[in-house]
Structures are given as C-alpha cells and as structure tokens.
Amino acid sequence: MSRALSNMFRTSSRIARLHSRIYTSSPSPSHLLQPVAQVRWSSHSPLGASPTNARKPVTINTLQNLYRKDEPITMITAHDFPSAHVADHAGMDMILVGDSLAMVALGMEDTSEVLLDEMLLHCRSVARATKAAFTVGDLPMGSYEVAPEQALESAIRIIKEGRVKSVKLEGGREMAPTIAKITSAGIPVLAHIGLTPQRQNALGGFRVQGKNTSAALKLLDDALAVQEAGAFGVVLEAVPAEVASLVTKKLAIPTIGIGAGNGCSGQVLVQVDMSGSFPPGRFLPKFVKKYGDVWTESMNAITSYRTEVKSRAYPAQEHTYPMAMSKEEFSELEQLVLQKRASVE
C-alpha cells in the first residue's frame, strides 16, 4: 500500500473517531462511575451570595425592641432579586415590596394599575434574596377594599405565595375592621395613612396631608384606629414633620416616615429614587435624597461595552474558553465541517 493511501486511511479513521465523539451523547457505563468535577460553564451565575457578616433574621420582636430603644428603623423598597439582595446585604431592617413597582419596575402610570398576581411574582423574587430583613408585601388596589374577608384572602396569598412576612395596606379608621380581620389570622399588618397613593384621585393628587388642625386630628384618629386594630406599625406619608412627630409620640407602635420628617420611628424610601436609577430630568418628591447615580454608572458601562464590541476589543483572549483539542484534531474537525457543508450544498 502506498504511503499516501496509508495516510489517507489513517486520517479517515481519525475523522471517524472525532465524528463519533462529537455526535455520540450517551456516556458509557464506566464513564458514569467516574467522579465528575462540578464546573459551571453557563454564561450566568447566581447572585445569591451570603453576606460576609450574616445577621440574625429581623422579626416583629426585633422591630419592637428597636422602637423601645428609640433606635431608628431602616426600611427601603425592592421589586426584584437584585434590588432585594443589595438591600439585605446593606443591613436594612425592613424591605418593602411596594406597589410603587408599578411605576418604577413595570412602567405603569400609577400604583392603581398593578395586579395582585403581579405583586405576588415580585414578592417571591424579593423573598428569595432576603435572608435577614423583615419583608412586607403591599396589598394592591382592588385586592382588599371590598370586604375584610377579601382582604384576608389576599393577605394569605401574599404570605403563602409571595413568601413575605407581613402585608401593608392603605387607609385609616375605615380600614380598622380589615386590619383586625387580617391580624386575627396571625398575619402582621403595616398600616399606611397620610398620603395614600392608591387613593390619590380622591385626595386631589399627590398632596401633603395633615396641614391644618382638622386634617391633623383626623390623621391622629386614623393612627390610633389602626393601632387599636392590631397593626404593628404605620407608615406616615407626606405629612408635616411637626404633625408626624406629634402623632408618633401619641402611639405605642412605630411610625415609618416617608416625607414626614425626622421625628418618626423610622424611614422608608423607594430604592430607585434614592439610588438615582433614572435618567436626568425625572421628577423627584421634595423628601427624596439622591444617595447615588446608578443611571450614569450604568450608561457609562453599557456605552463602553457597545464601543468595545463594535471595535472588536471585546471579547479579549482572557474572556474566551480554552480548546481541549490539539491543532491536528481541530484541523480534522475543520475538514469534517467542510465535508458536511459540501454535502448540504
């Protein structure tokens, strides 16, 4: 046999073996018995790393202890796994899955549009990330106003399906029977009075509440009513600082202020607002302090990525995976691919 013919047979044999390795997916029984290294080759990796200094889970008792010690309670909103993950790592006492996600995460015009099923999806996402903070899920408009029984059914879903630890609902004295119904079932309730965004149409828009004597007295009456009904705390939104401080002193449960001054038992902000996760020119309420500029950081990063892709600077060698084949094997693979392409054409 000529040397050329012999080489041709050897090359054909190697290609056949390579073809077999490429297209044979069932491992041999002996292969199954071998230990396999657990290596992630996915383009994604889980975000759920444990905090460096793990905290004990925050409970109702923890919040009550903070209140008794006059130590401010920290609260922030989150609407998905990443935003909850960073809030929990940052040491927040409470994380609220607020219906504000309608506007900051879902692009809706106001909070009244979000549905209970949508809230449940976001509650579950936040709950997966939160290891220590006390979680609260908003009851969206339409899920609790009809009757206390409807509210209890919705609250049970938020706890069981949403996997959060408590619920929040808007309204004062008129919602006291509803709060009592939910708390009697063992579900903690955070009340919300003052400016109640779900009712902004009835309030004439997003307006400061409790500005005059009669309005301030009504605010106090609402706060006492939700406390008597069993709420473990109450959010005071868009209330003059002096009035909020007075109401706080008259209660035996913590107040969480948002635009209600420094005399409240704690504070809450919408994470997207305080972190600067929005383009320039977006309206912000007077009470919001911008602690970061996530929009600019993200724009810079994404713009740099686009530029490097266009110029082929990315991906560089350090961003690519090594090949296990030898140059000879890869050459054989190229021949095989060319043969298959030719046969198709």
DSSP string, 158-181: HHHTT--SEEEEEBSGGGHHHHHH
241 φ/ψ angles, rounded to the nearest 5 degrees = -55, -40
Does the annotation count 237 as an active-site position? yes
Token pair belonging to 69:
């010690």
Q: In terms of C-beta density within 10 A (0-12 exposed, 13-18 middle, 19 or more buried), how is residue 118 classed?
A: middle
Radius of gyration over every alpha carbon of the chain, rounded to an integer in angstroms: 29
- Nearest C-alpha neighbor of 233 from the set 107, 19, 58: 58
Active-site pick, 237, 297, 308, 334: 237
pLDDT by residue for the chain (345 residues), tens digit each?
Answer: 444 444 444 545 554 554 555 444 444 444 444 444 455 555 555 666 666 678 999 999 999 999 999 999 999 999 999 999 999 999 999 999 999 999 999 999 989 999 999 999 999 999 999 999 999 999 999 999 999 999 999 999 999 999 999 999 999 999 999 999 999 999 999 999 999 887 665 555 567 888 999 999 999 999 999 999 999 999 999 999 999 999 999 999 999 999 999 999 999 999 999 999 999 999 899 999 999 999 999 999 999 999 999 999 999 999 999 999 999 999 999 999 998 877 766
Cα separation of 297 and 278, whole Å?
11
Cα separation of 132 and 55, whole Å?
6
What pTM did the predictor assign?
0.83
H helix or E strand, kind and range, residue 77: strand 73-77
Q: Report CA-CA distances (Å) from 284 to 31, 86, 98, 342.
A: 61, 22, 17, 63
